[in-house]
Amino acid sequence: MLSLENWKEQGEWLTLENGHRVFYTVQGNGPPVLFLHGFPTSSHDYARLPPLLTGQYQLILLDFLGYGFSDKPRKHTYSLFEQADIVQALAAHLGLKKLYLVSHDMGNSVALEVLRRGTPVVEKYVMLNGSVLLKYYQPVLSQRVLLHKVSGPVFSLISGLVPQALFARQFGTVFAIKPTSEEFKAFRAAIRYNNGHQIHHKLIQYLQERKTHEHTWLDALHTHPAPLTVIWGLLDPVAVPRIAQAVLERRPDARYIPLEKIGHYPQWEDPATVAGAIHWAFQQ
């Protein structure tokens, strides 16, 4: 697995039409696979997968605007629709008209908007844990605080003062298999890069867009022809298994891979199983 520092060193930046830059990395050779990460972290969430997949695929991993090593403008209204624009811009930049897609957490909603738009063409899709149906979503306390219009900005500002041990304890609640102390430091470093924690109250507003558009996006998933594989950690306290079941009710043709001893981050907690499932899905 590449360290966060090496992850940055092997990547590059795409400059958008508005002048902002987004970070991405391309690894391996073969059919292109685009990975979309979640809130509040970065593409480094997938860092355990490339050693297991680069022999078969070209892996494309990006940091959404406001995340990881991408620009984090302070006076900006962040939107899932803009993040989908960025996916399309990166695909065009790399000359990709067709690709495979893997998404997690917030990235699921971006993925569903890409499916709805139809470009680039998603030929096969793998969905990991994410609260695509808010009816069953179980937010942690920090997410509730960040969503509040008064407490959110204050919490963003003071979160940088939280000791590392407390961060690990809070963030660790969504993992069934806990990262090491060094891995927790890497997660936090990606979040805090360029003071990214100070805009978390802005980034988390994607949940409001998800609430408004979730049925449109789930309809797009229902009608899209791409074969779907759902990989779900069943010990996820936030994106609970009932959400996966709701997805499967809309796509009964999907292959479902429940992971009984895994939490919110299957790609980090059990990369071998997830990589194997991804490879199986893309070979069908």
Indicate if the pLDDT at residue 192 is higher than 90.
Answer: yes
Six-digit token pair at 244? 């996966």
Residue 48 — pLDDT band, cuts 50, 70, 90? very high
Indicate if the pLDDT at residue 157 is higher than 80.
Answer: no
Domain edges within the chain:
4-283
pLDDT tens per residue across span 215-252: 999 999 999 999 999 999 999 999 999 999 999 999 99
CA–CA separation, 86 and 89 (whole Å):
5
The structure tokens 């695909």 sit at 91
29 three-state secondary structure: coil
pLDDT tens per residue across span 252-268: 999 999 999 999 999 99
CATH fold of the domain at 4-283: Rossmann fold (3.40.50)
Q: 9: burial class by Cβ within 10 Å (0-12, 13-18, 19+)? A: exposed
Record the pTM.
0.97
Residue 159 — pLDDT band, cuts 50, 70, 90? confident
pLDDT tens per residue across span 79-90: 999 999 999 999
Half-sphere exposure of 34 (CA within 13 A, CB side): 33
CA distances from 163 to 41, 68, 122, 153, 176 (A): 18, 20, 42, 19, 22
Indicate if the pLDDT at residue 135 is higher than 90.
Answer: yes
Average pLDDT over every residue of 177-184:
97
Indicate if the pLDDT at residue 182 is higher than 90.
Answer: yes
In terms of phi and psi (left: phi > 0; alpha: psi -120 to 50; beta: otherwise), the region of 66 is left
The structure tokens 């480094």 sit at 44
Please tell me what DSSP assigns to residue 64.
Answer: P
| Helix, strand, coil in percent for the chain, rounding step 5 | 50, 15, 35
CA–CA separation, 238 and 132 (whole Å):
11
Q: Which residue type does 116 have?
A: R
Backbone φ and ψ of 126, nearest 5° = -120, 125
- The predicted structure's pLDDT at residue 271: 98
Q: DSSP string of 166-228?
A: HHHHHHGGG-SSPPPHHHHHHHHHHHHGGGGGGGHHHHTTHHHHHHHHHHHHHHHHHH--S-E
Indicate if the pLDDT at residue 55 is higher than 90.
Answer: yes
